[in-house]
Amino acid sequence: MSFSCTLPKLTTFAAIALISIAATGAARAQSATEIQLSYKDKKFDPAEISAAANTPIVIKLKNLDAKAMEFESKTLKVEKVVAGSSDATINVRAQKPGRYEFFDEYNEKVARGALVVK
Amino acid sequence: MIAALIIVFREVFEAGLIIGIVLAVTRTVPHRNQWIAGGVLAGILAACVVAIFAGALSNLFAGMGQELFNAAILSLAVVMLTWHNVWMARHGKELAGELWAAGRAVVEGSKSLLALAIVVGVAVLREGSEVVLFLYGVMAGGSDSGLSVALGGFIGLVLGALVCMLTYFGLVKIPTRALFATTTILIALLAAGMAAQAAAFLEKANWLTALDNVVWDSGWLLSDSSLPGKALHTLIGYTDQPTAMQLVVYIAVLAVTFALMRLYGAPAKTVTPAPAE
């Protein structure tokens, strides 16, 4: 009934959305700040990293331990499993200035670090 | 031990809620226990496989394998949930009536059960692989006492099963007439929430960059990492910082679900008048 006429609209909308994704995708990826971070013996190195505000951030994390870890930050909305002795890329969206804590979910009490956005 | 308990419970909580809902939805369907148990088992097996290949999976698609894998299995669950709702709109009345005894209805019914078993399997798989990796890491590391961690993990699992039972018994208390409408809405919201989560994973993988502005921040009111926030996150897809794209996807899935239910839901011939909505 009234729903049947909304379907073509939805299709058009989806098409517009897809085109805009394709158009903006390439431009966004270049401007990101890249940060190197390593993890060994339940410690992040460096324990504090910093980045500029309002810029997407890419964290390159090296897990040097043999065990898997889970990089998590509630405030950054990131949750990523990193297998033992391997690397991971974590994309973080542009943030407002502030201090954002992250940790290894499997060792939440000891394995902590923070991203300071200025 | 407490750390293990918390981690395992946090992971099985979401799966517990989803299994509880599926059990309530299929409560009148014959052989549903085998199907759902099969979904749980398949989910656990798949979780172990994913845990073993976690490193290889991560490295796919320029390091974004995990995000894309999550988006893919969530999308699969969204399709299955939507399909179930559309199927129920057409066959719901047969299910309640005597027609159900007919052989054809049982065959049709197992199609819907398969869809829901897949949803259960996906829920278990997503959370399960993290539990497997965590427990394996602790066992292999040998720093903590393996037994106390195993005990903590077991209690966490039992608490997750408790969440599942509470959800189930809470839902089946609803009178049969209202239960169908309730579960239809619950499943539609569950599907929309999962679709928004899938969109969030695609955003993290930089595959989806349009409309990525955060529309609101309600973290001060209800953080989605708190327990009530997490429950709402699973049930209706609540997130304290949704992007415009997540909202668009959420609303689109709801619109498509109800449109499809209208289009394909009307049974060819029924004597009884359509139930009030």
Q: Which residues of A touch B248 (CB under 8 A)?
A: 13, 17
- Domain with B202 in it: 2-265
Residue B143 has pLDDT above 80, yes or no: no
A1 contacts in chain B (CB < 8 Å): 262
More confident residue, B63 or B252: B252
pLDDT bracket for residue B142 (50, 70, 90): low
Contact A108 B3 (CB under 8 A): yes
> Is residue B212 in some structural domain?
yes
Q: Residue B264 above 90 pLDDT?
A: no
The predicted structure's pLDDT at residue B103: 56
pLDDT for position B147: 80
Q: How far is A81 from chain B (nearest CA, A)?
A: 7
User: Tens of pLDDT along B60-107?
Assistant: 888 899 999 999 999 999 999 999 988 888 776 666 555 555 555 556
Q: Which of A41, A59, A77 to mutate to test the interface with B (most CBs of B within 10 A)?
A: A77
Which one of A104-108, B87-91, B133-137, B264-268 scores highest in mean pLDDT? A104-108
Three-state DSSP state, B89 = helix
Question: Has residue B249 been placed in a domain?
Answer: yes
A77–B200: do the CB atoms touch at under 8 Å?
yes
Q: Is residue B113 part of a domain?
A: yes
Nearest to B54 among A17, A83, A109 (CB): A83
Domain count across chain B? 1
Q: Give the whole-angstrom CA distance, residue B110 versus residue B170.
A: 25
Confidence tier at B127 by pLDDT (50, 70, 90): confident
Beta strands A112-117 and A48-51 are: parallel
| Tens-digit pLDDT profile for residues B173-216 | 988 778 888 889 999 999 999 999 999 999 999 898 888 888 99
Q: Across all residues in chain B, what is the average pLDDT?
A: 85
Question: A47: which residues sit within 8 A by CB, 6+ positions away?
Answer: A112, A113, A114
Residue B204 to residue A91, Cβ atoms within 8 A? yes
Q: Which among B210, B223, B263 has the least Cβ separation from residue A21?
A: B210
Q: Which residues of B touch A20 (CB under 8 A)?
A: 210-211
Find the residue in A nearest to B149 (Cα).
A106
What pLDDT was estimated at residue B3?
80
Question: Residue A105: closest CA among chain B residues belongs to which residue?
Answer: B7
A3 to B58: CB separation less than 8 angstroms, yes or no: no
This prediction's pTM: 0.82
In this structure, is residue B166 part of a structural domain? yes
Tell me, yes or no, whether B277 lies in a domain.
Answer: no
Q: How far is A79 from chain B (nearest CA, A)?
A: 10
- The alpha carbon of residue B53 is apart from the nearest alpha carbon of chain A, in Å, by 9
Q: Check A81 against B133: CB less than 8 A apart.
A: yes
Per-residue pLDDT for A4 more than 70?
Answer: no
ipTM of the complex: 0.76
Cα separation, B20 vs B263, whole angstroms:
29
The Cα–Cα gap between A14 and B73 comes to: 21
Mean local confidence (pLDDT), B117-137: 89
Q: What is the Cα–Cα distance from B115 to B112, expressed in whole angstroms?
A: 5
CA B232 to chain centroid, in Å, comes to: 12
Is B271 a domain residue? no
Q: Please list every residue in chain B whose beta carbon sits closer than 8 Å to the beta carbon of residue A83.
A: 54-55, 58, 133
Whole-number Å distance between alpha carbons of A75 and B250: 22
Beta-carbon count within 10 A of B141 CB: 16
Q: How many CA atoms lie within 13 A of B195 on its CB side?
A: 24
Amino acid at A71: F
Identify whether B169 is part of a domain: yes
Name the residue type at position B243.
Answer: T
Closest-CA residue of B relative to A76 is B241
Q: What is the mean pLDDT of residues B37-50?
A: 95
Domains of chain A and CATH, by start: 32-117 (2.60.40.420)
Q: Give the span between the Cα atoms of B160 and B40, in whole angstroms.
A: 13
Q: Strand A69-73 and strand A98-104: pairing?
A: antiparallel
Contact B248 A109 (CB under 8 A): no
Q: Is position B270 within any domain?
A: no
Q: Could you tell me the CATH number of the domain that includes residue B76?
A: 1.20.1250
Residues in B closer than 8 angstroms to A70, CB to CB, are: 130, 133-134
CB contact under 8 A, A78 and B130: no
Cβ of B255 within 8 Å of Cβ of A10? The answer is yes
Beta strand A43-45 with A48-51: parallel, antiparallel or unpaired? Answer: unpaired
